[in-house]
């Protein structure tokens, strides 16, 4: 008899999210813990608390470059400790069920296709808009087995050097980190803004949400920061549209909350830049699964590959 559940794991930079997911994509239960150096132990413990004979397998989404075939994390900029672990085999040995690994944004794209905003599209590109920018590409209802590191596409040949090795990466202009770094450097120079009040004396603790709130409260500087980042995001959209011509671009991650300013500006910029015939075919829509896309998709990959 078919087992009822899969465990889906989203191993981002700061949090480890684990869920028990049913065959129709419903999250039965989930937990979130902070990631530590002891990531393998935390992960094992979390899975353990959900495990039963009804678990068909364990899918792990990891922020970084992964090798599906070798079951390894090649590089994970925010969680280097994971690069040295034989992740898939360790977990497989412990739980004796199929285990697979996928990039977290790819897993999220799969989740959106399965039970999210991507259900009705044959092909779409997912952008994860958070601290960094990730991507996943669905083509004819299949997740492409490619890194889809859209955030590390150079959109400014001689722009700032990115830790990834490239220069002028989309992520350096359009991500949450980029918005905050722009905020901090101007505030340090004495730029007047509501953000100063919001930060309660420590501008280094501001979040992208603070910037959006200040913008909604009429702060010109916060608005500028978001529009500027949005404009660059639109260049990323245009490049993706000209290359892939997807039916949709699906947006997830914390910055989607700033839709009215940040995403709207991106849409405007993309409409000016992409081939008209291709732009007219693409729908730009928010994720419905949001933070749950990764855990849902990682579990879904188990049902659809075992």
Answer whether 15's CB lies under 8 Å from 34's CB. yes
Distance in Å, CB of 145 to its own copies, minimum? 8
Would you say 25 or 168 has its CB closer to its own copies? 168
Give the shortest CB-282-to-its own copies separation in angstroms: 12
For residue 111, the minimal CB distance to its own copies (Å) is: 20
DSSP string covering 84-105? GS-HHHHHHHHH-S-EEEEEHH
Nearer residue to its own copies within complex by CB, 119 or 163: 163
Q: What's the closest the beta carbon of residue 149 comes to its own copies, in angstroms?
A: 4
- Distance of closest approach, residue 213 Cβ to its own copies, in angstroms: 27
Which whole-number Å values give the CA distances from 59 to 28, 68, 108, 269, in the listed order? 16, 11, 12, 37
Is 155 or 214 the residue whose CB approaches its own copies more closely?
155
Q: Which CB, 155 or 256, lies closer to its own copies?
A: 155
What is the rounded distance in angstroms from the CA atom of residue 7 to the CA atom of residue 170?
A: 33
The CA distance from 64 to 67, in Å, is 10
Residues found near its own copies in the complex (CB under 8 A): 65, 74-75, 135, 139, 144, 146-150, 152-157, 164-168, 173, 232, 235, 238-239, 242-245, 272-278
**In whole angstroms, what is the distance from residue 253 CA to residue 134 CA?**
10
Q: Which is nearer to its own copies, 93 or 275 (CB)?
A: 275
Backbone φ, ψ for residue 250 (5° rounding): -105, 130
């Amino acid at each position: 008899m078919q087992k009822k559940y899969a465990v889906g794991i989203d191993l981002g930079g700061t949090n480890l999210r684990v869920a028990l997911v049913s065959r129709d994509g419903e999250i039965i239960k989930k937990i979130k813990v902070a990631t530590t150096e002891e990531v393998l132990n935390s992960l094992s413990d979390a899975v353990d608390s959900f495990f039963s004979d009804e678990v068909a397998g364990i899918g792990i989404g990891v922020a970084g470059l992964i090798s599906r075939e070798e079951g390894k994390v090649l590089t994970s900029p925010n969680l280097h400790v994971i690069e040295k672990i034989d992740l898939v085999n360790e977990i497989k040995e412990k739980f004796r069920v199929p285990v697979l690994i996928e990039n977290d944004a790819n897993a999220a794209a799969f989740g959106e296709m399965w039970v999210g905003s991507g259900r009705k599209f044959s092909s779409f590109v997912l952008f994860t808009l958070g601290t960094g920018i990730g991507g996943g590409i669905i083509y004819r209802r299949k997740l492409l087995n490619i890194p889809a590191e859209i955030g590390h596409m150079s959109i400014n040949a001689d722009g700032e050097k990115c830790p990834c090795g490239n220069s002028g990466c989309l992520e350096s202009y359009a991500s949450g980190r980029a918005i905050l770094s722009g905020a901090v450097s101007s505030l340090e120079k004495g730029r007047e803004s509501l953000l100063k009040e919001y930060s309660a004396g420590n501008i280094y603790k501001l979040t992208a949400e603070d910037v959006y709130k200040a913008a909604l409260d009429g702060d010109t500087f916060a608005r500028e920061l978001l529009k500027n980042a949005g404009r660059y995001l639109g260049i990323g959209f245009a490049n993706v549209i000209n290359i892939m011509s997807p039916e949709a671009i699906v947006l997830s991650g914390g910055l989607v909350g700033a839709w009215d300013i940040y995403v709207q500006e991106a849409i405007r910029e993309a409409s000016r830049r992409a081939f008209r015939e291709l732009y007219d075919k693409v729908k730009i829509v928010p994720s419905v699964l949001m933070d749950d896309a990764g855990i849902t998709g990682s579990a879904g990959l188990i049902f659809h590959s075992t």
